[in-house]
Every structure is written in C-alpha cells, then in structure tokens.
A = this chain, B = another copy of it.
Amino acid sequence: MIVALRLLALGDIGTVTALTHLRVARPHRADAARNYDAILAAARLAFAEQGADAPLEEIARRAGVGIATLYRNFPTREVLIENVYITEVEVVCEAAREAESLAPRAGLYAWLRRFVEYIGAKQPLAAGLNRESTAYLECRRALYAAGGPLLERAQRAREVRADVAIDDVMRLASAIASGHFPQAEQRERVLTVALDGLSTPPG
C-alpha cells in the first residue's frame, strides 16, 4: 500500500512540475527561435553577473539582437526574469525524483540541500522576482508538489518532527538559500543546524 502511494507520488511529480505553460512561447520561425534562445542565454549570464537590474539593452547587444526584438519576446523585465527562473526551478523539481530512492529523512535532506544550492546561487535573480506574479506562485506550487511527498514520507517514518508543514520547511530552506554567506561551506553548515531542528521532536 505504501509502495502504491509512493509510486503515485512519483507519477504526480512528473505532471505537476510541468512549468512549460508559464514560459513565453518560443517562436516558430527558425531565425526567431534562435533569437529567443540567444536572449535567454544572454539574460541568464547578465543577471548572474550584474544582478536583476542588468540593463536590458546590454542583454540585447550580447544576444546579437536589437532591443525591439527583446521587448517583442519578453514585454517586461519581469517576464524575462521569470523565464530564466523557471528553468532553475524545473531542475530542482526533477531532483526530487532521485531523492525518493534514498531513506526517508536522507532523501528529504538531500533534496533540500540541492534546493538551497541551486536557488542560493540564483539569489540576485530571485530578488528581482515579483512574489505576487503567477509565474512565481506556480513555481512555488511546483516546488511544494515536489517536496511535499518527501516530507510526508519522512514524517510517516517518524524521522522528522510532525508539527511542520511543507510550507514551513520550504520557507526555512528559502531563507537560508537567499541569506548571505561568504562561503558556500558555511551555508552548508548552517543548513545542517537548521535541519537538525527539523529532526528534533517538538517540545
């Protein structure tokens, strides 16, 4: 029975994490599609280097397209940021599948570490994201759908305290991901402390 539930959960992750519909439609014509890709690639780079405030005109220049083409595909800076962000979230959601093969608590923690690592690296990007936007809310929903089963499994095994919801766990992890740490290893260490808190029985 538990096996059946787990398989069901696995199946869900695949469908639930499909975020493709949130993306700006990729143009059909070959040259236009090439431009679309070039803009996204240049944006990813520019946002990583200069933060979410990177000049759009420079992104267009780096992509080898006119500024009008950039705006035609991504009408606002926000839409562009979202489209870069969605890709990262999809990667993390996929990782939840692998985590299912580990022991309950180990699986949850491994996935959370992965989440912190990926999202933490994209911190300046996420800072430029509108937290009320459909895309952001959908990304969150997808992440919860990916992590929820992992948490429940660990709680059923009594390896994680029962008085926390996936929303609490994700916000704790998000906070550590977006917090400022001079070295990645310190973020790791602090995350470990926080995860020890998740293992502690309440009281």
Q: List chain A positions with a Cβ less than 8 A from chain B.
A: 127, 131, 161, 164, 167-168, 171-172, 174-176, 178-181, 186, 189-190, 193-200, 202
Contact = CB atoms under 8 A, between A and B. Distances in A.
Given A180-B131, A197-B200, A190 B174 contact: no
Contacts of A174: 179-180
Nearest to A191: B172
Q: Interface of chain A, helix or strand or loop or mixed?
A: helix
Identical copies in the complex:
2
Nearest to A53: B53
29 contacts: A131-B180, A164-B193, A167-B186, A168-B190, A171-B180, A171-B181, A171-B186, A172-B176, A172-B179, A172-B194, A174-B179, A174-B180, A175-B175, A175-B179, A175-B190, A176-B179, A178-B178, A179-B179, A193-B197, A193-B200, A194-B194, A194-B197, A195-B197, A196-B196, A196-B200, A196-B202, A197-B197, A197-B200, A200-B200
Contact of A179 (B161, B171, B197, B202): B171
B190 A193 contact: no
Nearest to A197: B197
A78 to B, nearest CB: 14
B190 A198 contact: no
Contacts of A189: 168
Contacts of A195: 197
A143 to B, nearest CB: 14
Contacts of A196: 196-197, 200, 202
The 6 closest A-B pairs by CB, nearest first: A175-B179, A197-B197, A196-B197, A196-B200, A193-B197, A175-B175
